[in-house]
Structure 1
């Protein structure tokens, strides 16, 4: 028996049952792929070479970084009183600042400050590379007019004065900066001529540009195309990453990955510059509003001051009076003090009413800080600053989010709460100011009654001088406040600070090791995948282990491919591995049948060509070599082959006996080898099935069994003819022959049906023509060498080895 042969059940009612091993044999799977190792290694090398070429010719990608320190604003006095009320401001604004830096509006403002509307390219041996900065030409265009974007132009320098221009890539569209979201496609673009002069205007419809020569030489070729600011802004915004340097850190790292290091550095630096300028503009807005408010007041008071000054000079000149009496000076001093106080209160009242109008009209960006106009109420200052900050936050967030997002809804709720609180405070301040103003007016009226007791000339002088002094004090006060506001405006700086300007920190692509590894993996996956698919789609029986699991009877033996001349290797080459496989099968028969003296064996298959005749002939030969009186009976009456293999004439045989009264002894022919006789099938009859089903056939077979020690039946394929099923009854042991690389996998169902539905007993499987090594070769127990294969011990004939490249494409030994 074979070392790993299936264990046959001892239950006589189920003689064909075997014990199956369903465990996955890892060694077999590995061997299945390793037999194609040249292909696997070849594809792996191709994959590695592919990864190397990707590394060599891919455009390098660089990482550019810069850092910004975000400083939290210090809340105004009293601002913390409103935080718990729901309308205060959260001063931890890192997320807001990240949103601003990544906003489209900031990206667009940055791009508008840079000259990025023309992209330049140079054509290399393998690829076309974009260049930035150090270009040999410069394309001039007016961004305020419609632009022709999307396509590609080629410029070839002819000489120092002219160049040839052509279109090499279509896909143009018209971009109008006045209507940026409405692009009009323009596929057919033609140039009026091909040769132009440097600095000459080139007109394409309403789009106009010119080309200036910087350092281009004759023969140079430069490619360029036009892009609009929104497209560039979207692209640059998508490449930008903003994140805190560390968790809870106020330092933000701005980075982007780009093939153009200089472009990345310039963009990040300009982005931060635009960001800080925007912050400064927002910070200056309140101061500018204060200056505007004071200027409006000054324009009104200047005319009154000039008029009152003129009247005072005229009155003094006409009445020859320049100074007041001691009593008049005392009264005028008290009146002047009250008038100055009333002017300040009146200015505060105007400011409160402007705030009230702002709140009523839902104004944005027009708040004036109370402290800038002399209002010293700390609570009001805190409320105004809170509302101003919240309005600024709203503008920032609305640039990136819609009103439906939670963060915008939250800021709108805070603005509404802060506005209500400010409105209540302003209404209260107006009432208090009006009351104070009424009190001052009462005091002034009392002093005016005292003035009425003075002489008329002095009384009139006091009136004129009073008006002049009031206007003068207000004018000086407003000038002082305006100067303070202008000093504040000039001294304003962004609260955030640039820590590190943008610089290239390293190359991030191509990832050389990863590309090589990826190429190796792809190189391994392709051949392994092809082998797997090829194996999966293969409908032929190649794997003995798979066949053993498929059939419901034991796989008793495997017959290797015969490399000897002729079809009788047992006689022609007794030292071959094929001969040894037949000897081994003969030895196993002693375990399969209790009969030791007389034995009848039947061989069949599913279809013709699977080698049942070859197996039956050589099986008869090994019994003859053993000294057993053996006869080979050819029962394939439709397609006989035994005669030509033994060099006999098929003039008479079994069909002769069955169709006439000739005894079977008359059709027995010597094979030419000792102890082996042959009964050929004979001339092909018109009714082979009916002949084999006669009672006479059974008598002949019984007589043959009595006359010979071993009877071998070579039967027709059971999958093609019907009479074979009846012949199983005449054999002690039956063998179903499969052929490696030839029999279909579905042929195992034919054998299984014979066992399950046909009730055939004592039938076993044999795999013939084993030549495809599936990992079951020498030493595993199923190989046709059985430990004697190749040149292991010199028991079998030497076979010429096959070159590795032939084995790789499927050729084996010869």
Structure 2
């Protein structure tokens, strides 16, 4: 898909993703699975016994095949499909027959009887099946009582036979009516055909004797001969055109042929060939002797050869002298083929003229012979067809009447039903397995649906996919760590070493974030290690130029940027660095509450009232860590942060401290981070897993990009270590915790207690 100007690749699910989904939505999947499983289990063990009774019957394949030639499709069908029988069973007439028969059945009445609703419900349990390539069909009924199942299937089969017989009678009556109409029409057509034939004979005096005396046959033979010669002539002309085209490719005039030379010798030879050919055609037409025909063939071939040689010699003498030696043989070959094809064409034309003349002569001697013979054949054929159809309809009409009176409906019972002795096996294990599969499938389906609806960011891969921004660190969300620290404070009655009027006091309203500071968690738990990893990654972002200033911000409130600012500053101070936190969230400042310091004087007093830098920098209980609180909330925070004095302060602090971290408001809420980002130079975006919509994070990132802020990466905060969202993060923190806590069980039993730096005992 496309997000803005970036193309975001669709996520490809792996086995780890499916396991991760199951862990994140395990309660939903478990609830759905248990609910479905309990329902299926209860049904399996409380389901009453079910009995099945079956009747086997055969069906006729259809009507007499002879009717297929006269019946339209809607009246005739060779083999009815299963859908036809199901349609009969679902018809209201069939159901009414069963209900009426069941209400008066003596066995059912003796067994307690059935109401109309009960019978109607049992009709819905009637099943019908048909074997492929077979006339056998099976009708079965299931009921909780074996006698009821037996009687209902018996009644259903009887009603089905009756209904089938009624349908067949209706079809037979329709067939008789249709055939009767066709008989009347065929009788009329037959009378018309006989009358037309008689009128033709009386008018033309032409009978079948005229057709049989050979005149028509001879005329047809001559017509076929003319057609054959015309085809051969056209083929010979096409071949001649090919030779002329090939010879025309040469530069000289070499296309001289049989008709290009008019010498007395050649003209006489053509005339003799034509006369001999006519004599031969006459002999063949009059059944002349074979010896005479062979002699004429020899004379014709002899003169053709003489004519060929004469024409070929003259053509060669006029052109070969001008031709290069390399083309002489090719030209001579094509010239010889051309002369031979012209002689063949000459012979075919003579034969065609002869047979055309003979055909015309026959037509003059016997006018209208062909037309009369064709008309006579047509009339005789019409009479024969109508006569055959009429006789056939008479026969089938009688058969249809007999079938209408004696039809059985095409249904014959082969095996009658009997009272079932045992119920149908319930197969409880299969039902339970179906319940398991159904429960898991429905649970995972709902989990997928909720996961699809969830548009929040959960993993570093999603940040990289949607923003193209690398994730520098991941901070786990472990509630028990915070609770453990809170218990430690209460048990040891320790106080925070803050300053109130110069005295260390106990603040009864300690900020909730205070219990999540690193010193309260101990140096060997996963949360501390996560900040160490973040600190290390930041140190290696730019090895040549170490980062001096970092602006921490987020897209929306509540994503943990302030707590991450405090813990990251503590982590850097543990390296012996001189670190300063500047609380730039003048609307809702929290840093002074986290470290239990004074809110004023702070940044507002420095920027607006001209107080000195030394007066607003407060020391915390952490060695090397200082804080400039937000101070008094001003009416115009954005203008103050955009002032020249703020720009000078950022430059001055970078010179005095090893690292300065600026805690700023959320980007979506106010414009303060957009003002500070270009001034500070390095921005770290905090994203809380599972809380913020990725569209909001993308919007926040785009706002920073518009002011050319240098966003070095993101911190994914609150990553679940028990709810899924990735094998790496879950097991990373798990094994990290195992690594640091293994072997410490004995030390935990010691009475000595090592106090964190942030606390002092009262």
TM-score range, shorter chain: 0.5 to 0.7
Alignment check: 8 A CA contact 1:87 1:415 kept: no
Indicate the residue corresponding to 1:657 in structure 2: 606
Q: Tell me the CA shift for residue 786 of structure 1.
A: 5.2
Unaligned runs of 5+ in 2: 191-405, 487-513, 746-762
Q: Secondary structure at the match of 2:675?
A: helix
- Give the whole-Å Cα distance in 2 for the aligned partners of 1:418 and 1:646: 113
User: Within the alignment, does 1:52 sit opposite 2:41 as a pair?
Assistant: yes
Indicate the residue corresponding to 2:518 in structure 1: 570
User: Within the alignment, does 1:731 sit opposite 2:680 as a pair?
Assistant: yes
Indicate the residue corresponding to 2:150 in structure 1: 265
The equivalent position to 1:668 in structure 2, one of 601, 617, 620, is 617
Could you state the TM-score of these two structures normalised by the residue count of structure 2? 0.53
Q: Tell me the CA shift for residue 259 of structure 1.
A: 4.2
Could you state the TM-score of these two structures normalised by the residue count of structure 1? 0.50
- Give the whole-Å Cα distance in 1 for the aligned partners of 2:87 and 2:648: 105
- Give the whole-Å Cα distance in 2 for the aligned partners of 1:99 and 1:527: 38
Indicate the residue corresponding to 1:611 in structure 2: 560
- Give the whole-Å Cα distance in 2 for the aligned partners of 1:93 and 1:724: 83
User: Within the alignment, does 1:621 sit opposite 2:576 as a pair?
Assistant: no
Indicate the residue corresponding to 2:417 in structure 1: 502
The equivalent position to 1:116 in structure 2, one of 103, 109, 112, is 103
Q: Tell me the CA shift for residue 517 of structure 1.
A: 4.0
Greater per-residue helix proportion: 2
Q: Secondary structure at the match of 1:609?
A: coil
Segment of structure 1 superposing worse, 544-553 or 676-685: 544-553
The equivalent position to 2:737 in structure 1, one of 764, 774, 790, is 790
Q: Tell me the CA shift for residue 585 of structure 1.
A: 1.0
Q: Secondary structure at the match of 2:417?
A: strand
Deviations 1:521-545 (A, max 9, x none): 4433454344344444446544444
Alignment check: 8 A CA contact 2:20 2:725 kept: no
Indicate the residue corresponding to 2:178 in structure 1: 413
Relative distance call for 1:677 and 1:44 in structure 2 (3 A) is closer
Q: Secondary structure at the match of 2:645?
A: helix
Q: Tell me the CA shift for residue 226 of structure 1.
A: 5.9
Relative distance call for 1:275 and 1:679 in structure 2 (3 A) is closer
Deviations 1:443-479 (A, max 9, x none): xxxxxxxxxxxxxxxxxxxxxxxxxxxxxxxxxxxxx
Deviations 1:604-657 (A, max 9, x none): 123333222211122111111112222222222222222222232223222222
Deviations 1:68-122 (A, max 9, x none): 46789999xxxx9x7797489999888899799968778767776x462599xxx
Deviations 1:279-329 (A, max 9, x none): 9xxxxxxxxxxxxxxxxxxxxxxxxxxxxxxxxxxxxxxxxxxxxxxxxxx
- Give the whole-Å Cα distance in 2 for the aligned partners of 1:712 and 1:742: 24
Indicate the residue corresponding to 2:18 in structure 1: 29
- Give the whole-Å Cα distance in 1 for the aligned partners of 2:79 and 2:731: 80
Alignment check: 8 A CA contact 1:70 1:94 kept: no
- Give the whole-Å Cα distance in 1 for the aligned partners of 2:163 and 2:618: 113
Q: Secondary structure at the match of 2:432?
A: helix
Unaligned runs of 5+ in 1: 1-15, 120-130, 139-223, 280-392, 402-406, 426-491, 799-814
Q: Secondary structure at the match of 2:686?
A: strand
Q: Secondary structure at the match of 1:592?
A: coil
Relative distance call for 1:509 and 1:92 in structure 2 (3 A) is farther
Relative distance call for 1:774 and 1:797 in structure 2 (3 A) is farther
Segment of structure 1 superposing worse, 767-776 or 88-97: 88-97
- Give the whole-Å Cα distance in 2 for the aligned partners of 1:726 and 1:686: 16
Indicate the residue corresponding to 1:556 in structure 2: 472
Alignment check: 8 A CA contact 1:593 1:733 kept: no
Q: Secondary structure at the match of 1:678?
A: strand
Indicate the residue corresponding to 1:66 in structure 2: 55
Alignment check: 8 A CA contact 1:581 1:784 kept: no
Indicate the residue corresponding to 1:247 in structure 2: 133
Alignment check: 8 A CA contact 1:632 1:714 kept: yes
Alignment of 1:737-748 (within 5 A): 737-748=686-697
Q: Secondary structure at the match of 1:719?
A: coil
Relative distance call for 1:630 and 1:783 in structure 2 (3 A) is farther
- Give the whole-Å Cα distance in 1 for the aligned partners of 2:717 and 2:41: 48
- Give the whole-Å Cα distance in 1 for the aligned partners of 2:20 and 2:630: 44
Deviations 1:580-614 (A, max 9, x none): 11111111113323454561111112333322221
Indicate the residue corresponding to 1:343 in structure 2: none
Alignment of 1:265-284 (within 5 A): 265-269=150-154
Indicate the residue corresponding to 2:596 in structure 1: 647
Q: Tell me the CA shift for residue 759 of structure 1.
A: 2.5
User: Within the alignment, does 1:531 sit opposite 2:447 as a pair?
Assistant: yes
Relative distance call for 1:252 and 1:762 in structure 2 (3 A) is closer
Q: Secondary structure at the match of 1:550?
A: helix
- Give the whole-Å Cα distance in 2 for the aligned partners of 1:73 and 1:666: 110
Relative distance call for 1:746 and 1:92 in structure 2 (3 A) is closer
- Give the whole-Å Cα distance in 2 for the aligned partners of 1:784 and 1:248: 64
The equivalent position to 1:681 in structure 2, one of 610, 617, 630, is 630
Relative distance call for 1:552 and 1:53 in structure 2 (3 A) is same
Greater per-residue strand proportion: 1
Indicate the residue corresponding to 1:713 in structure 2: 662
- Give the whole-Å Cα distance in 2 for the aligned partners of 1:646 and 1:509: 73
User: Within the alignment, does 1:775 sit opposite 2:540 as a pair?
Assistant: no
- Give the whole-Å Cα distance in 2 for the aligned partners of 1:598 and 1:101: 86
Alignment of 1:697-708 (within 5 A): 697-708=646-657
Indicate the residue corresponding to 1:635 in structure 2: 584
Alignment of 1:193-342 (within 5 A): 225=115, 247-249=133-135, 251-269=136-154
Indicate the residue corresponding to 1:364 in structure 2: none
Indicate the residue corresponding to 1:397 in structure 2: 168
- Give the whole-Å Cα distance in 2 for the aligned partners of 1:118 and 1:43: 47
Deviations 1:359-410 (A, max 9, x none): xxxxxxxxxxxxxxxxxxxxxxxxxxxxxxxxxx8x64355x7xxxxx9866
Q: Tell me the CA shift for residue 734 of structure 1.
A: 0.9
Alignment check: 8 A CA contact 1:87 1:418 kept: no
Relative distance call for 1:728 and 1:784 in structure 2 (3 A) is farther
